[in-house]
Structure 1
Amino acid sequence: MPTTMKNAVEMYLQARDLSRGSRIEYRTTLEKWHAWNHKVPVEKLDRATIRQFLNWVYEQAVAEGGTNPGRTSNKTRTHIRAVVSWAWENDIIDIPPRFPKPLPAREVAGRHYLTKSEINALYFATHQMPRPRGWQETVPVGRYWRAALVLFFNYGLDSGTVWGTTSFHEPILWRHVSWSDRAPNREVKQRSRWGWLSYRRIKTGKSFCRPMNRVVHAHLKSLFIGEPASVDPVFLGSTARPNVRFRELCALAKIGPKKDVDTSEEIPWVLKDLRKTCATYYDEHMPESSIEILGHSVGGITYRHYAHRAPLAFKAIMTLPQPSSFLALVRGFDRQSPCCRRPFADLA
């Protein structure tokens, strides 16, 4: 029996521990769907149908004198996408439809994440990073920062987890990297052809065992020089104040500071913004997957005992669309641009 949008939304709201305000917003979206009067079951949704609906929502917002119709349409898009992704996770639909891109909208809450073009600029700017004082490594310092950017984007790590900037931080060591397809944690049943990465979050102390995708695997392999000891740290090239070096990298990439919407004050980017960037793109790719990826605490009993949390994280990590710069190393262009073949010369 076909699943109507109304039934899908109601089942989604029953399965998720959402606030009262969020539930009202989802039901408002459902009212818009009924007002559009397009009786398409969830199983037959396609990109063209979704685009028509979102365009209708935009036109209605304009007709009603809305000041930010693009944001109204994008909010509706987020709701429909979350419901469809949940239906896919629970085998109600076989394949989720492709969604049209968000419409241009005025930022009302400020942007606290980096765009993919800015991430690409940061990635290529690492070739310009100067040699740190006393640097004795054969690997350029920029290569460590490129791998760190990849891990920040894919796992939303803390800076202390990557570099261990203080004595009580537990940084990623080579014994935490497994090239086997079997997970070191026996509770994880999935297999990853690219290996596994284990780490502990600084704030909560919670341990994670995450699969490596192709991009993460390639960048960690580029740091695996010789036969490093299992207790050696994976990442070098930072200081006790890694945010200072990150701001220097932003300057090399010509990325201006972010602005506070209320005060218009310019605020420099920090490494924690990469964690917010990770959450943004995971929720864009697979709604609510960032809760599990980043290890956020959740209050709902249903979600804490949800049996598909680990498979959801596995699927999200292995299918997350990567910035184009991250694919340079995978395609064999570590020292040159993958688009124009412009060579890069590391300073360190």
Structure 2
Amino acid sequence: MRLSGVLKSVAPVPGTIPRPHFIPQFVRKTDYVKPLRQQDYTIDCTRYQNDLQSNIELKGRVTDLFRRVGLVHLINTGTLDPVTLREPFKHILGLGSIYSGGANPRQHISDNVYETGAKKDQTLHYHHEMQYAHQSVRSISFMCLEMSQSLDGATYFADNIGFTRDMESRAIGQKMIETGVRITRRWTDEKYYKDKPLQNYYNHWQTSFLTEDPRVAEKKAREQNNLVDIEWDECGKLTGHYYPPAYEYCPFIDRNLFFYAISDHAIWFDTDSNVIGTPDKDRPLIMSFADGTDFSDDEIGECVEVCDNHGLKVNWEPGDAVLACNYRFLHGRPGMQLKEGEVRKLGVVLGERFERIGPLPGKY
């Protein structure tokens, strides 16, 4: 069996068979991938510090790099103000997306700048932002507001153009193209857990959809997430399914690209302490082929490996900011065990929303 990354066994659950625990390497050197160099996507902002928000030259350089590469890393900005750090990207991000429900809600930092919303000790597999939803975002920005020098708190980005070519050449990629995928999503009921331990908890539907009314939650699930076959169980849990194609048309390069990594599989929760002991079939997020066939261990491992083949590491210094095209790049990071006094604080800005349209003819 060919498996990717460092493997551990998932904690056995009665009546289930433990499968490998997939931990991405995030960057893997290969003979056929030429990785981007830091200078290919980095802008030193030392000379723009006095007018970071309005400098025409900087705006032009950001526009050029985003058009050509899809990834922009600003360093030496001279500020920790999240609104100021957002400004050089604002003409691409737009005003930023206001959270309206269906995803993982984030704590507000300042003026459409939010916390990342993920547990520090959880490994985040490579993914496109909101790839599990019918409404996603065209771009995403991260900014480093605090980072302990003792901490390796890097974020990793994977080139999706290379990932798409790689997947197209493999049997697993062709299978995903031919059948599409099925995303099963589950939200727990906050009232049910009121006096119970938070086991198999990821997101309550009340929190995710910003409502206490199950009818409103179901309406948002259908309209914003394009979920079908919606069900409620006796514990108040909401379940629905989404059937997207493997491809999504990228308007920035006029080409269809893969818009699915394996991160929407139950492996997303392999390092989540609330969910790790739960069988895959009962986890809050499940990914299979559209016909309901499960991914094999080999197929999961291969998908993780292909992402790693196209990954690069972006190290953070306080005041850095990154803009990424959500079509052309995936992002992720390893889990971190913060020691006492260590801090990693990133802000995130979600760009303009779009509705999935799938691939366009002749754009492969």
Q: TM-score, normalised by structure 2?
A: 0.27
Higher strand share: 2
**Quick check: which has more Rg, 1 or 2?**
1
> 1 or 2 for the larger relative contact order (CA 8 Å, sep ≥6)?
2
